[in-house]
């Protein structure tokens, strides 16, 4: 089956108009119509309903569209991975990460890897977990360091490489900062900074449930997703925030980090190393083995 016919069908199905699809494909309309007809003849089924009012997909066409998209994505991925391997990609690794991975884990890992493999270039990109996972599945990213969830890491291999508690980050001039530890009820009496629900639904829901369990609700005055942003807002006195314990290593002035004694143990922070087993180059596999070895030598990374 010719991939060109698939691309033609996808364009028509998405535009639902032969003229617009032909323009999108930079080709004339008659050859496009002939291409779709040849595809239908080859399959022995009708994929499109044609009428004066427009074009629509048959049930078989809808099924074919989904499968064609997968096939074309895999074909593009095959080309991308092959070209990268041919163009010195074997000596370069694309590594993506969440900001917190740079608090404790990645800096020494990268320094040791560079000392051991100076000929390997590591290209670093900071991305959200969902965007990292898309990059992994599309083959643009070799190794990702992200906050894991079942829906994200499905279809890829993963390993937990860091785990720590969530703590309260409090402006140090607030009276509550003088305490050695705080409770969720304590924090509910102060302005709080929390991640946007639409960007981190599971995390926000877990925190909201934790507050409800102790009979209170948080006073959220500001939403922020990135940990560095939260820390900057806390330091400015806008509110307190819930961050991973390793955020204290960043060294932002004006913040007191305090344990939350009634925080459920399930609300922790994890970072997973994620990769696609079929896309990893030898250099990427070597890098992952280096990370695994480093984690084995530093068990404190995953102990809470």
Q: What is the pLDDT of residues 5-46, one digit of tens each?
A: 999 999 999 999 999 999 999 999 999 999 999 999 999 999
Q: What is the pLDDT of residue 111?
A: 95
Identify the pLDDT of residue 304.
65
Cα–Cα nearest to 167, from 250, 102, 223, 96: 250
- Give the global pTM: 0.67
Percent of the chain with pLDDT over 90: 68
Per-residue confidence (pLDDT) for residue 104, from 0 to 100? 93
Beta bridge partners of 124: 95
| 164-268 topology per CATH | D-Maltodextrin-Binding Protein; domain 2 (3.40.190)
The pLDDT tens digits for 36-65 are 999 999 999 999 998 877 899 999 999 999
Q: What is the pLDDT of residue 154?
A: 65
**SS3 (DSSP) at 153:** helix
Structure confidence at residue 84 (pLDDT): 63
Fold of 3-86: Arc Repressor Mutant, subunit A (1.10.10)
Q: What is the pLDDT of residue 80?
A: 72
User: Which whole number is the average pLDDT over 87-96?
Assistant: 76
At 88 the pLDDT is 47
**Helices 3-15, 29-43: inter-axial angle, 10-degree rounding:** 110
The mean pLDDT of the chain is: 89
More confident residue, 4 or 266: 4
Range of lowest pLDDT (20-29, 79-88, 284-293): 79-88
Q: Do 270 and 163 touch, CB atoms closer than 8 A?
A: yes
Cα–Cα–Cα angle for 72, 77, 79, nearest 5°?
Answer: 100
Q: CATH 3.40.190.10 spans which residues of the chain?
A: 89-162+269-302, 164-268
Instruction: Indicate where the chain has its CATH 1.10.10.10 domain(s).
Output: 3-86
Q: What integer is the mean pLDDT of 202-213?
A: 91
- Two tokens, residue 191: 């302005």
- Computed on alpha carbons and rounded to an integer, the radius of gyration of the chain in Å comes to 25
Task: Look at residues 2, 287, 278, 19 and name the one whose alpha carbon lies nearest to residue 156.
Answer: 278
Sign of dihedral through CA atoms 273, 276, 278, 282? negative
Calculate the dihedral angle through the C-alpha atoms of 184, 188, 193, 198, rounding to the nearest 10 degrees. Answer: 80
Residue 85: per-residue pLDDT: 59
Overall residue count recorded for the chain in this entry: 304
What CATH number is given for 89-162+269-302 in this structure?
3.40.190.10
| pLDDT-based confidence at residue 122 (cuts at 50, 70, 90) | very high
Give the number of other CB atoms < 10 A from CB of residue 42.
11
Using alpha carbons, select from 195, 197, 194, 178 the residue that is nearest to residue 186.
178
């Amino acid at each position: 089956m010719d991939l060109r016919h698939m691309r033609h069908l996808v364009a028509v199905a998405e535009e639902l108009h032969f003229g617009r699809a032909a323009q999108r494909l930079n080709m004339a309309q008659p050859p496009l119509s002939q291409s779709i007809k040849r595809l239908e003849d080859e399959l022995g089924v009708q994929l499109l309903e044609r009428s004066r009012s427009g074009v629509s997909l048959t049930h078989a066409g809808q099924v074919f569209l989904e499968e064609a998209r997968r096939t074309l994505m895999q074909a593009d991925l095959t080309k991308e991975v092959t070209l990268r391997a041919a163009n010195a990609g074997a000596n370069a690794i694309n590594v993506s990460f969440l900001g917190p991975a740079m608090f404790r884990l990645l800096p020494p890992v990268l320094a040791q890897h560079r000392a051991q493999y100076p000929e390997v270039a590591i290209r670093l990109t900071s991305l959200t977990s969902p965007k990292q996972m898309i990059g992994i599945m599309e083959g643009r990213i070799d190794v990702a360091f992200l906050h894991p969830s079942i829906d994200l890491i499905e279809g890829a291999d993963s390993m937990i490489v860091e785990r720590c508690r969530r703590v309260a980050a409090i402006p140090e001039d607030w009276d509550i900062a003088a305490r050695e530890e705080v409770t969720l009820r304590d924090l509910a009496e102060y302005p709080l900074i929390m991640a946007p629900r639409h960007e981190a639904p599971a995390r926000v829901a877990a925190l909201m449930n934790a507050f409800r369990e102790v009979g209170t609700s948080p006073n959220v005055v500001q939403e922020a997703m990135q940990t560095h942003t939260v820390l900057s807002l806390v330091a400015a006195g806008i509110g307190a925030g819930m961050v991973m314990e390793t955020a204290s290593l960043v060294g932002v002035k004006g913040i007191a980090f305090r344990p939350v004694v009634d925080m459920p143990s399930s609300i922790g922070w994890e970072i997973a190393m994620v990769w696609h087993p079929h896309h990893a180059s030898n250099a990427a596999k070597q890098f992952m083995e280096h990370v695994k070895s480093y984690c084995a030598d530093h068990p404190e990374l995953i102990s809470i």
